[in-house]
Structure 1
Amino acid sequence: MDRRRFLAGAAAAGVAGLAGCGTASGAIRPPELPKRRLDEGGWERTTADTEEVFSRTVAGTDVSATAVTRVFDDVALRSDVSEKTLGALDAPLSNFFAARIAFTPNLADVPIESAREELAARAGEVAAGQFEAQLEAAGLSDVSASDGGTLTVETGEEASLTAYNAAFEFDAISFEVRGETITIEGGSVDVEGLLATWVHDGGLLLSGGAYPAENFARTVEKELSDAITVSVDVDLGLEPETYAEEVTGLLKRVE
């Protein structure tokens, strides 16, 4: 696995890995997304999935849950980094996803409140578990989760947040500069993720993403001869706070 693609799979974190029980037969409405904001931000959709999450009996009622997922890559950021590294690093670096988990029957029609809460909690637990599994499968290490508090989304509901921290260990990267091979030694970069879940319109919405949590800057020296040594500064100009604000701003507008 090319570990430079560390976020290629992590974007689907909340739900793309929820499959396992087959594909739902009915048409499920996908989550409504802030399309203009995505377009202006240089995001491009990479995945559109519909998968059954689980089927179980709760309070005497047979209930199934189906997830419809949309995943986006920050293509503008990817292109910028690729240009800065002369094509040496060309991979997804920041991702956003949104999913609607629809219940049959509708969650609001399940007769007992405690049963409704159990179903929503079960779907949220599955999503959180898959988020962590996808981060690890994408090559991240030291994945940890913590309570991120709550956030009021645009529809007025209160979303529960889970914050994630991880480390991306990257291999050495080499590129040519005026006929000389410059090599950046391997190392690690901190990564952050955010998963939000909330009940809306009888179903469960999930949204969030993953992004670099620190800038990447290195100074590489190359000895051309006994008398000449050149120094090359590599600074990708990554802006973690900007990425965090952008992902948060997008997820708040999911309906």
Structure 2
Amino acid sequence: MDRRRFLAGAAAAGVAGLAGCGTASGTVRPPELPEQRLDDGGWERTAADTEEVLSRTVAGTEVSATAVSRVYDDAALRAAVGEKTLGALDAPLSNFFAARIAFTPTLVDVPVESAREELAARAGEAARGQFEAQLAAAGLTDVSASDGGTLAVATGEDAAVTEYSAAFEFDAISFEVRGEPITIEGGSVDVEGVLASWIHDGGLFLSGGAYPAQNVVRTVDRELSEAITVAVEVDLGLEPARYAEEVEALVTRVE
């Protein structure tokens, strides 16, 4: 697996494999997203999926759930890093996703309160489990989760937040200087992620993302001749604090 592409799969994990299978029936409204902010920030949609994720009997009531998800890649960041590395590193580095899970009947209409809570809890727990599994499957190591408290979202609720940390191993970067091959050794970069979930209008919302949590700076000395030695520095100029702020701003605006 190309570990540089870890975010491509991790984004959709929050809604994959919750329970059941099959094709969604009917029309489910997708989550409303801050489209202008996404456009202004250089985000590019990479996936749009609709999937039936649950079908079971709860408290004597047949309940089904359909998830509609949207996944975005920070294309502007990807392009900037690609330019800085002369095209040697061209991969998703920061992403954002949002999903709306619609229940039939809605959670509000499920007759027993404990059953409503169970359905929401099952969906939320499964989403977190799939998110973590996908991070690990994509090549991240030392994946850990912690309670991130709550976050006020645009729909008026307080979303439950799970924060993630991991390490991302990246490959060596090679290019030429004056016709001489230069190789910057690979290494490890800290990654952080967030997954928020909340109930609104009888359905469950999931949103989050992942991003580099540290900058990457590498320097290599290269002897071009007996008289000439050059020091080549690669500084990707990554801004973890800005990425964290941007992902949170997008998450809180999902409706």
> TM-score scaled to structure 1, two decimals?
0.97
Q: CA deviation at 1:227?
A: 3.6
**What code does the residue aligned with 1:15 have?**
V
Q: CA deviation at 1:6?
A: 2.3
1:52 is aligned to 52
2:208 is aligned to 208
Q: Distance in 1 between matches of 2:178 and 2:82?
A: 18
User: 2:8 is paired with a residue of what secondary structure?
Assistant: coil
2:144 is aligned to 144
Q: Distance in 1 between matches of 2:19 and 2:63?
A: 16
Q: Distance in 1 between matches of 2:243 and 2:22?
A: 34
1:224 is aligned to 224
Q: CA deviation at 1:13?
A: 2.9
> TM-score scaled to structure 2, two decimals?
0.97
User: 1:8 is paired with a residue of what secondary structure?
Assistant: helix
List 4+ stretches of structure 1 deviating above 3 A.
Answer: 16-20
1:135 is aligned to 135
1:36 is aligned to 36
Q: CA deviation at 1:136?
A: 1.3
2:12 is aligned to 12
CA 69–200 in structure 1, closer or farther in 2 if over 3 Å, else same? same
Contact 1:199 1:205 in 2 (8 A): yes
Q: Which runs of 5+ in 1 are unaligned?
A: none
Q: How many pairs align?
A: 255
Contact 1:17 1:134 in 2 (8 A): no
1:81 is aligned to 81
**What code does the residue aligned with 1:251 have?**
V
CA 179–20 in structure 1, closer or farther in 2 if over 3 Å, else same? farther
Contact 2:17 2:53 in 1 (8 A): no
1:247 is aligned to 247
Contact 2:52 2:65 in 1 (8 A): yes
2:161 is aligned to 161
RMSD of aligned Cα (Å): 1.2
Q: Distance in 2 between matches of 1:120 and 1:136?
A: 25
Matches for 1:45-124 after TM superposition, within 5 Å? 45-124=45-124
Q: CA deviation at 1:17?
A: 5.1
**What code does the residue aligned with 1:215 have?**
N
Q: CA deviation at 1:20?
A: 5.4
Q: Distance in 2 between matches of 1:179 and 1:17?
A: 50
Q: Distance in 2 between matches of 1:64 and 1:35?
A: 29
